[in-house]
Amino acid sequence: MSLGTILLPVVLGLAQAAQVSLGAEGHAYNPHWSANGDYIAFELNRYGDAVDLYVVRVSKGVPQVPSKVAIPGVSSNFSGRGTVVAAPVWHPEGTVIFEGSNAGGTQRLYYWAPGGQTAAELLSSSQISGDLTFPSLSPDAKTLAFVSDSAGSGDIFLWDQNSNKVSSTFTSAFAEAFPRFSSDGKIVAFSRKNRGTEDLFLWQGGASVVPFKGGNGDQSRPVWSGDQIVYFSNERGEGHWDVAIAARDGSDRRILAKEVRLPMRASPALTPDGRAVVYAMSDPEQANRLMVTLLDGSKTVEIPTGLVACGEPDLVQLDGRIYAAFTALPDKDTDFRQLHIVDVTGKLP
């Protein structure tokens, strides 16, 4: 393929999506499939500093009635103002790990199993103090990376599940976020904010980090595919977000998609085989579909949904089928973003 080749996206037929019915007002954000494809955890942002976490069981692409996940100290089924329960990540054994706090309280890490009652705190204050945020599991699920402000603006710590010990990675005067393990579990990519800018760095053990050469502008929310890092970049200017990819040493850097819709919290979504990235467009006229681009840039397909302002896709493979969970506005009847599920088997490049 020459550098001057223009690749037009392949437009597929309309994909019929199933909506997750929820008897509460608010915008659905940040859906994440469990490893076995039986559940989706997602956030309900009710604004007024209130975010709830829900989990919905899914059977062959059909959602059941969602369950709200409660944290200790919340007696009502409806969280009070200021309660934030967010950033879910699934353990392969079927529990969901997330950050949560009651109104005015400290943000801590919790875990909950579908069918259970109140969530339990994952790490005690004697193990690690302060606000705990941005949980992320290693590929073998034996190590959890997270951010704690116990020693500064927010440093990355590791929790070893087998030993139940918490260890520090490095310390800095800056605020770190979005730690993500490499495919072999040996490197942690993360973002760092400094004087209004955001850049990606790599930690490979020891007390120092290496800047990731991801281009100009801000880089955020890394996710690994093999030895490559896929991330969001706004090097073309504030408010103009692209999906970019580069090798871990910064070589072979390419823009895969321009003017994408930046999710509330999620990293770029990869297909289950790791060969393509799935995203939505920021342009309202193009935001009624999901876009899928191969990581080598050779092909893009569009999956129309019949909905409005699509965003935040997450995919899972189950029993030979591939399902996408995403949020969107319907074309009428409500002002709130809803969670939708669609079978995209045979629609990916």
Q: 43 lies in a domain? A: yes
Q: From CA 312, how far away is CA 279, in angstroms rounded?
A: 7
- Amino acid at residue number 136: S
Q: 280 lies in a domain? A: no
Q: Please report the pLDDT score of residue 332 as a whole number.
A: 66
- Amino acid at residue number 245: I
Q: 308 lies in a domain? A: no
The residue ranges of the chain whose pLDDT is under 50 are 1-6, 75-80
Q: In total, how many domains does the chain have?
A: 1
Q: 324 lies in a domain? A: no
Q: 314 lies in a domain? A: no
pLDDT tens track for 46-70: 876 789 999 999 999 999 999 999 9
Q: From CA 277, how far away is CA 243, in angstroms rounded?
A: 9
pLDDT tens track for 168-177: 999 888 899 9
Q: 281 lies in a domain? A: no
Distances from the Cα of 68 to the Cα of 44, 148, 191, 342, angstroms: 10, 26, 30, 22
Q: 13 lies in a domain? A: no
Q: 7 lies in a domain? A: no
Domain hosting residue 55, numbered range = 29-270
For residue 232, give the CATH number of its domain: 2.120.10.30
